[in-house]
């Protein structure tokens, strides 16, 4: 009996030692291994240029942080997933990052529809989603694990409504894409413009796949608008502007943030000349100047405003990760740390969460297309 007892004691002690060593080695590997972040962005599809900007800015941040020794001595790694700016694709991409790759935070998506579709999963799995470009109003209340670094479309629409009034446009027709971003901007603009005394004479929604706007344009022009407000995705906006010119419709076109991407002018051609739109506010301090210089050195082009927001989104994610205990890098910890970020000075200016899911301190700029380039608007 004594022999059997000692045998069992030896077995139990051996199991406990093995378990202890396993836990110790697991924690050691967590501390000494890589820090992995998910990046969810459209790398293909109609707005692949957004993903290209995000990849370029992400690569810059990775090079900078890893050259300095990484995060707490650990190399920072990212896993890219292509969401194509489509909600269903984005849901599958996020599920992989959360369930298989086990990342505590995902940076992206710029598409509001994707962010809103993913939000219930992020909240359930307790994985932070920090958007670098989702401006739809509802994103700000999409749940405890959904964050963004820019202001909402309520701000963007209010700026455009006031701008339109200042330009003497009192009768506006709207063509908008029927998704979270387009519908949100349409509704916010209608509200602000009518408060200012303007009139919405027509409002026409189109699917994200729409390419022929001739019928809608012909219908809208009968309402005798002073201008057209068109929150459409980039290529669609370019096609609409070009088709309007072909039909002899010479109304002022007012656009939104996605008009900044290169595809708009590429598709619209000369018809883009004179188009006015709002875009993410561009900070011009020394931080941005250093970023813009390096970006141009690396990629032989000036950075679009969105590229700067992608850069800061990843830097903010790293700041939240850095504040986590090395052996507890969880989505819950990252979330707590994001809430505590105040006065973060980056290439887009000051970002403050301070208990909010949407960072404060940003606005939108007024831009015009002149000589085939996007330039600040001047009266």
Q: What is the pLDDT of residue 144?
A: 97
For range 75-97, the mean pLDDT: 97
Both 113 and 162 in a single domain? no
Between 75-84, 236-245, 247-256, 370-379, the lowest mean confidence (pLDDT) is in 370-379
Largest pairwise CA distance in the chain:
102
Both 96 and 72 in a single domain? yes
Q: What is the pLDDT of residue 379?
A: 75
Both 132 and 166 in a single domain? no
Please give the residue range of the domain that contains residue 276. 154-282+366-376
Over residues 96-136, the pLDDT tens digits come to 999 999 999 999 999 999 999 999 999 999 999 999 999 99
Both 94 and 167 in a single domain? no
Over residues 16-70, the pLDDT tens digits come to 554 554 444 444 434 448 999 999 999 999 889 999 999 999 999 999 999 999 9
CATH of residue 42? 3.40.50.2300
Over residues 345-364, the pLDDT tens digits come to 999 999 999 889 999 989 99
Q: What is the pLDDT of residue 21?
A: 47
Within a domain: residue 4?
Answer: no
Both 236 and 372 in a single domain? yes
Of residues 366 and 151, which shows the higher confidence score?
366
Both 162 and 267 in a single domain? yes
pTM summary value = 0.87
Q: What is the pLDDT of residue 62?
A: 98
For range 331-338, the mean pLDDT: 97
Within a domain: residue 19?
Answer: no
Domain count, the chain: 2
Both 116 and 166 in a single domain? no
Over residues 149-193, the pLDDT tens digits come to 999 999 999 999 999 999 999 999 999 999 999 999 999 999 999
Q: What is the pLDDT of residue 46?
A: 84
Both 206 and 182 in a single domain? yes
């Amino acid at each position: 009996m004594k022999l059997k007892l000692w045998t069992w004691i030896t077995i139990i002690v051996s199991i406990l030692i093995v378990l202890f060593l396993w836990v110790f080695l697991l924690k050691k590997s967590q501390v000494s291994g890589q820090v992995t972040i998910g990046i969810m962005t459209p790398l293909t599809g109609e707005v692949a240029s957004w993903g290209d900007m995000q990849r370029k800015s992400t690569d810059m941040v990775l090079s900078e942080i890893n050259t300095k020794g990484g995060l707490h001595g650990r190399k920072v790694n990212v896993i890219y997933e292509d969401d194509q700016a489509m909600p269903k694709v984005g849901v599958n991409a996020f599920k992989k990052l959360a369930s298989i790759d086990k990342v505590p935070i995902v940076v992206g998506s710029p598409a509001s529809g994707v962010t809103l579709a993913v939000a219930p999963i992020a909240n359930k799995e307790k994985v932070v989603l920090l958007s670098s470009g989702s401006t739809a109003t509802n994103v700000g209340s999409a749940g405890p694990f959904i964050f963004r670094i820019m202001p909402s479309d309520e701000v963007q629409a209010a700026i455009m409504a006031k701008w339109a009034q200042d330009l003497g446009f009192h009768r506006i027709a709207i063509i908008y894409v029927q998704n979270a971003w387009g519908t949100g901007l349409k509704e916010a603009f209608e509200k602000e413009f009518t408060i200012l005394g303007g009139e919405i004479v027509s409002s026409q929604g189109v699917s994200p796949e729409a390419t022929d706007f001739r019928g809608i344009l012909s219908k809208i022009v009968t309402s005798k608008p002073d201008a057209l407000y068109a929150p459409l995705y980039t290529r669609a906006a370019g096609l609409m502007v070009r088709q309007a010119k072909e039909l002899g419709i010479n109304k002022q076109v007012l656009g939104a943030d996605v008009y900044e991407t290169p595809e708009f002018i590429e598709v619209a051609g000369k018809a883009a000349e004179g188009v006015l739109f709002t875009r993410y506010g561009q900070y011009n301090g020394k931080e941005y100047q250093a970023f813009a210089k390096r970006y141009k050195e690396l990629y032989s082009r000036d950075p679009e405003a969105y590229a700067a927001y992608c850069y800061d989104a990843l830097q903010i994610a790293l700041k939240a990760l850095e504040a986590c205990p090395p052996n507890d890098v969880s989505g819950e910890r990252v979330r707590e740390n994001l809430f505590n970020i105040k006065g973060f000075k980056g290439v887009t200016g000051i970002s403050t969460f301070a208990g909010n899911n949407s960072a404060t301190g940003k606005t939108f700029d007024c831009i015009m297309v002149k000589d085939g380039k996007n330039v600040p608007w001047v009266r």
